[in-house]
Structure 1
């Protein structure tokens, strides 16, 4: 900490910004940086680390229109942009531990290595171990610190940044600021019921949540929407995810939608998304974009792989309350909606792009509340 305080502010290069904008530009930046041996060594040091620890300044006075849980989510995801804590990140790292002076803490994960639920379960195990062994860990840390004080010395990394690399870095920062200013989070903590009540009504909690989001979207926009929900394929070797499609004809029928049998088929490896997407990728490599098979040039296919409603259930264990996952929409006119099904309450993290007037996170949140209450009334009436 003392080393960080005493660093030469004028000599700081915001390398954390390299991964904040476009991926092509990030690749060009590191291609330029890797021309220097010093940069190669420093980058390898970062890449070989288990995780990155980000120590943030307070966010208390930023965007007072948000409640504290919303502030914490935005702080952990992107640090409120490059003018605040946003470039105190290394977004290419699989795991970033974010800790702010005001007590805000969480993890920011890079998705390509593993699904969110894998990170969540790992984090829960670490927290559970720390909670159960707090006194012992604290005692051991104090002893080790006193015994090894002279050899505890963080290593500052050296970088040589060319003019070309610096220009790319500046372009990334401009794009990062534009993105962070545009992203909106609306958090819903629904406390009237949760998993226990939903199961008591005899329906699948996840099916209930998916139908609720479809109903909220229908109320707001007047139509069902193509949606994405990850279906874990971890029962298979090297399995990752497929897609559960909630926008089916059956979704218009309450009971059928809540008991949708297609989910089981996808979980068993019989979904269509992975198969067709793999065929498209292979076709692109074999034939090029101009000579793709007709199915992959059809407008229906293009719309089929476009997800205006991107959802994900990442539920935490009962002892970890008020936790949620947060990510942005995957299309301009879409919603991101991660949700946590807890025993007696539900959490939705709704994201939208402010610049696209076709979506409205505040209205979607209100329609979610209305839909939850209406579905509760319907199910209780049928008991």
Structure 2
């Protein structure tokens, strides 16, 4: 194959008879089309920014406003209180005829009036979205007068058909909780973890903090809130993610798996081509802001700022701090196969490649007999090891020449595609193989994933898909949204022919993959192998198990009139207590995307209520009725905590920011040091599902034969098996779960093999037993107990949660 299909526009050849110039018009055309695409994209983004600045208004309404002002003025009714005459006489008369000057003055006044009205409307919406009382309403009961008034005003003020970033201007800022409330919530959250003496010590530390430096730090935090759109997110990104010097593989990156039931093809390059083209279609939708923002209760928008860096983004290593670099556009992907790296262009003559055209390039890569260059096969291990080592290697060996060009081809790619040599299996009855599959997507062999890239698509030899995501740029729901779109497009838009190849006929065969060239020195290779050794030791210690809960799911939980998320969290509390013999600090990720630039907040699932219920379950003298009452009380309190976290009343992000300020000011706080050092022995996250059931119904109706061929039915939909992350604490568990359907839940459980306290497979059995015990407990109750007054149901039954590491 043309392994060095270089993009050279012209070259010189010098001989005895003079010199010759060889001009490649194809390359010039490619450069022209690339510049044209970039220009179109910039124009589109500029136009979208203009529309977004006026939302919930519209430019046509602004024109109408100008027309009304001009009409009234020329009819003899001056609505501007002589401002039009003043503008015409003092500004425009010297340049324009009097009538033209008056027309221009009417346009200026009309535009100004419309802008003021839009700003007022945005301000009103910002205040309305600062109200979160609607989240605390009990399901099934008549809403109070305030939520009704609020709902009516929102519907009156909000615009129709918002684009992806239309609602950003009127999202409120994340509020700073009061210091007293945060300290009270914190002390309440740790009461089950400490004995009386230790708890009294923490109370004393908290009071001392409040009376000494706490109020001063709180004032500085108010100043940070005043001058920034979000007082948490920039520090969270910098200090939690980018400042970390340990490996991001396993410790930070998370993974996601394929659809559960769908096996549309077994041809690797066909599946990879469909998925890649679907991802570029999604990127086009992002660039044009055609994707609608997610709305809670179809009324309240979620922040969409995290979508901006999904594609064309790389994490660059630094000696002390990494940085995230986002490129405005990218026309290619980077492909890894059998130790070789390739640059594959996705556009030809300003048109996105069709899957059949991309498959030709991927087939050439598969057939390429070329061996990897020295050091190339394990090169990506630099991204899997310690960050400082990678930063030193990058600055020393990749600053110039061919190495720099090849590295930029990967870093500036839209994303990375790995054509894996392994075969994966997925399903609900192959737990052991699921574990191997999850391991492969989480870390692979450490050298066959580029962990710095915003996300990496992995397609196995038998065409099973997975993806690995770098965590610093965004949280899991953003990637989940994209992957659900991609999996849907794979089946519903592109499809496969009878042999399992991509559909359609290639329009051209001109494009060839470019094999990247590397000049790896001996010293550089030593650093690569050192990083690989670090990464191998790290992933060999990971104990990862996927437990499939298919005995029952959220259907039965709702029948018991309990929130599925709270129900599962209580099952995890019971399972963990039985596994460890004591209560531990538990992390559940909640979102704060009701606020501008919001990311996550922590829900402390181990509470006074949950611990009381767990103790009751382990005490044979406690009656079934009392256990049920305590369970419902624990679920109620968990839901209350979740609502508090979503509405800006969390504990941990507030204390984290106070801790950062104390470090900036060189102020020592034993209380904050204690809080930030407490290990999360159980770190949990729910993976949300955003699947479009209406589109599935249309596809089943329009293409029943294709649906039958790939095994797609209403019961076996394109729902994913979810994903997971590595353990957060050395002697703790990481648990990510997804409610895949009404009767199916996947639990991704991670821990460290080196810890004698943990065992992921054992913990999966603990979860299974806890779920069985809870079902038995609740099924034994009469309907009167099941409808006791203690039960509530959140308006958000299964709140979205972010996979967090």
Q: Shared fold (TM-score greater than 0.5)? A: yes
1:332 to 720, 724, 730: 730
1:239 and 2:598 aligned: yes
**Is the contact made by 2:585 and 2:604 (CA closer than 8 Å) also made in structure 1?**
yes
1:8 and 2:366 aligned: no
List per-residue Cα deviations over 1:146-190 (Å, max 9, x = no partner): x321x2211222333344432221111001111121111122111
**Is the contact made by 2:551 and 2:743 (CA closer than 8 Å) also made in structure 1?**
yes
1:294 and 2:670 aligned: yes
Distance across 2 between alignment mates of 1:244 and 1:148: 54
1:344 positional shift = 0.8
List per-residue Cα deviations over 1:94-114 (Å, max 9, x = no partner): 111101112321111111111
Equivalent in the alignment of 2:421: 57
List per-residue Cα deviations over 1:311-336 (Å, max 9, x = no partner): 11004348234612121101110111
Query: Per the alignment, do residues 355 and 281 of structure 1 end up closer, same or farther by CA in structure 2, a change over 3 Å counting?
Result: same
Query: Per the alignment, do residues 66 and 26 of structure 1 end up closer, same or farther by CA in structure 2, a change over 3 Å counting?
Result: farther
Equivalent in the alignment of 1:108: 468
Query: Is 197-206 or 162-171 further displaced after alignment?
Result: 162-171
1:181 and 2:558 aligned: no
Query: Per the alignment, do residues 135 and 367 of structure 1 end up closer, same or farther by CA in structure 2, a change over 3 Å counting?
Result: closer
1:256 and 2:633 aligned: yes
* Secondary structure class of the residue paired with 2:515: coil
Q: How does 1:63-82 map to 2 (within 5 A)?
A: 67-79=432-444, 81=445
Equivalent in the alignment of 1:347: 746
Query: Is 43-52 or 13-22 further displaced after alignment?
Result: 43-52
User: Which has more radius of gyration?
Assistant: 2
Distance across 1 between alignment mates of 2:555 and 2:564: 9
Q: How does 1:131-210 map to 2 (within 5 A)?
A: 131-135=491-495, 142-143=504-505, 145=506, 147-149=507-509, 151-210=510-569
Query: Is 355-364 or 206-215 further displaced after alignment?
Result: 355-364
2:778 to 363, 379, 382: 379
* Secondary structure class of the residue paired with 1:323: coil
**Is the contact made by 1:59 and 1:71 (CA closer than 8 Å) also made in structure 2?**
no
1:296 positional shift = 2.5
Query: Per the alignment, do residues 314 and 234 of structure 1 end up closer, same or farther by CA in structure 2, a change over 3 Å counting?
Result: same
Distance across 2 between alignment mates of 1:266 and 1:376: 28
Distance across 2 between alignment mates of 1:105 and 1:140: 16
Equivalent in the alignment of 2:214: none
**Is the contact made by 2:424 and 2:437 (CA closer than 8 Å) also made in structure 1?**
no
Distance across 2 between alignment mates of 1:163 and 1:114: 37
Query: Per the alignment, do residues 10 and 48 of structure 1 end up closer, same or farther by CA in structure 2, a change over 3 Å counting?
Result: closer
Distance across 1 between alignment mates of 2:442 and 2:728: 15
Distance across 2 between alignment mates of 1:301 and 1:177: 29
Distance across 2 between alignment mates of 1:284 and 1:178: 33
Residue ranges of structure 1 left out of the alignment (5+ in a row): none
1:281 and 2:654 aligned: no
1:279 positional shift = 2.1
**Is the contact made by 1:217 and 1:364 (CA closer than 8 Å) also made in structure 2?**
yes
**Is the contact made by 1:72 and 1:104 (CA closer than 8 Å) also made in structure 2?**
no
Query: Is 3-12 or 108-117 further displaced after alignment?
Result: 3-12
**Is the contact made by 1:242 and 1:273 (CA closer than 8 Å) also made in structure 2?**
yes
List per-residue Cα deviations over 1:196-239 (Å, max 9, x = no partner): 11112111111111111110011111112111111111111111
Distance across 2 between alignment mates of 1:140 and 1:3: 17
Query: Per the alignment, do residues 118 and 99 of structure 1 end up closer, same or farther by CA in structure 2, a change over 3 Å counting?
Result: same
Equivalent in the alignment of 1:272: 651
Distance across 1 between alignment mates of 2:646 and 2:521: 49
Distance across 1 between alignment mates of 2:777 and 2:762: 22
* Secondary structure class of the residue paired with 1:153: coil
1:370 positional shift = 0.8
Distance across 1 between alignment mates of 2:407 and 2:397: 9
Equivalent in the alignment of 2:756: 357
Query: Is 336-345 or 31-40 further displaced after alignment?
Result: 31-40
Q: How does 1:36-55 map to 2 (within 5 A)?
A: 36-55=400-419
* Secondary structure class of the residue paired with 2:647: helix
1:366 positional shift = 1.3
Query: Per the alignment, do residues 139 and 211 of structure 1 end up closer, same or farther by CA in structure 2, a change over 3 Å counting?
Result: closer
Count, aligned residues: 366
Distance across 2 between alignment mates of 1:166 and 1:176: 15
**Is the contact made by 1:328 and 1:351 (CA closer than 8 Å) also made in structure 2?**
yes
Distance across 1 between alignment mates of 2:568 and 2:375: 46
**Is the contact made by 2:591 and 2:600 (CA closer than 8 Å) also made in structure 1?**
yes
1:59 positional shift = 4.3
* Secondary structure class of the residue paired with 2:734: strand
Distance across 2 between alignment mates of 1:197 and 1:225: 28
Query: Is 123-132 or 348-357 further displaced after alignment?
Result: 123-132
Distance across 1 between alignment mates of 2:644 and 2:436: 39
Residue ranges of structure 2 left out of the alignment (5+ in a row): 1-362, 614-630, 692-715, 787-805
List per-residue Cα deviations over 1:15-74 (Å, max 9, x = no partner): 21111111222222222234324333333222222210000112479xxx9622222111
* Secondary structure class of the residue paired with 1:259: helix
Equivalent in the alignment of 2:575: 216
Distance across 2 between alignment mates of 1:59 and 1:130: 20
2:586 to 227, 240, 243: 227
1:35 and 2:392 aligned: no
Distance across 1 between alignment mates of 2:736 and 2:568: 10
